[in-house]
Amino acid sequence: MQKLYNKNRKFLGLGSNIENRLSNLRECIRRLLQIPGLILKQWSPIYETRPIDNSPQENFLNMVVEIDYLSTPLQLLKEIKSIETGMGRKTLYRWGPRNIDIDILFFGSEIMKTSLLSIPHPEIVNRKFVLKPMVDIASDFKCPVSGLCITELYRSCIDENKVWDYMESRRDFPLFDPSPIIDLSL
C-alpha cells in the first residue's frame, strides 16, 4: 500500500540566500506554476538556516513544495534549470550564495542516477533544512532507497545546523495568493 501512496508524490526543495529571499521564493513558485503539466499540491512553512559550510554568506530561506507533474524527471530538471537561469542564478562555487536553488528531492518511488540527475536527491538524509519542511507536509512519505519515512530520516539526521521557522511571526502573511493554483496546461 505504501508503494502506491509514494508512487505519485513528487517534491521540490526551494532555497534562496541573496537579494530579497522571500520575493525570490514567491517568484520561483509563480514560475513553477507556468510549467505545462505541473500542479502545486501543497507547500511547507519557510525555514531559515545557515549555509551548509558556514561560509560568510547570508542565511538561506528554504521550503519544500509537493507537486504533481505529468512528464519525466529529466524534463522537470530542464524546466527548473530554465527557471533558475531566468531568475538570474549564477553558480559561483559549490554551496555558494544564490538567489534561487531548486532541487528535485523525490519523484514518487523513482530511483535514478545519471550524470545529470540523481533521485532521490543524494543529500536529503544529511540536510535538516530539507527534512524539516518535508516533515510538515509529508511526514509519512517513505524514502524509496532506505524505506524509512521522512520523520524517521529527520530524527536520525546528524546535521547540526539549526533550522528555525522564518514565518513564525508572519502567519497572516501568505507566501503567495493560492487562488491561481490551476493546471495551466489545459
48 beta partners:
61, 164
- Say what the pLDDT of residue 102 is: 98
- H/E stretch holding 176 reads none
Q: Give the tens place of pLDDT for each residue, 127-181.
A: 999 999 999 999 999 999 999 999 999 999 999 999 998 865 354 445 555 444 4
Q: Which domains does the chain have, with CATH numbers?
A: 2-169 (3.30.70.560)
pTM here?
0.88
Query: How many whole angstroms separate alpha carbon 112 and alpha carbon 63?
Result: 23
- 140 Cβ contact partners less than 8 Å away, ≥ 6 residues apart: 5, 149, 150, 151
- Say what the pLDDT of residue 126 is: 94
Q: Would you call 75 helix, strand, or coil by DSSP?
A: helix
Q: Is 156 exposed, middle or buried (0-12, 13-18, 19+ CB in 10 A)?
A: exposed
Confidence grade of residue 53 (pLDDT, cut at 50, 70, 90): confident
Q: Give the tens place of pLDDT for each residue, 91-132.
A: 777 777 899 999 999 999 999 999 999 999 999 999 999 999
Record the cell numbers describing residue 18, joined without a space.
541573496
- Say what the pLDDT of residue 96 is: 76
Quote the DSSP letter at residue 109. T
Structural contact between residues 43 and 57, judged by C-beta atoms closer than 8 angstroms: no
Q: Give the tens place of pLDDT for each residue, 61-98.
A: 999 999 999 999 999 999 999 999 999 998 777 777 89
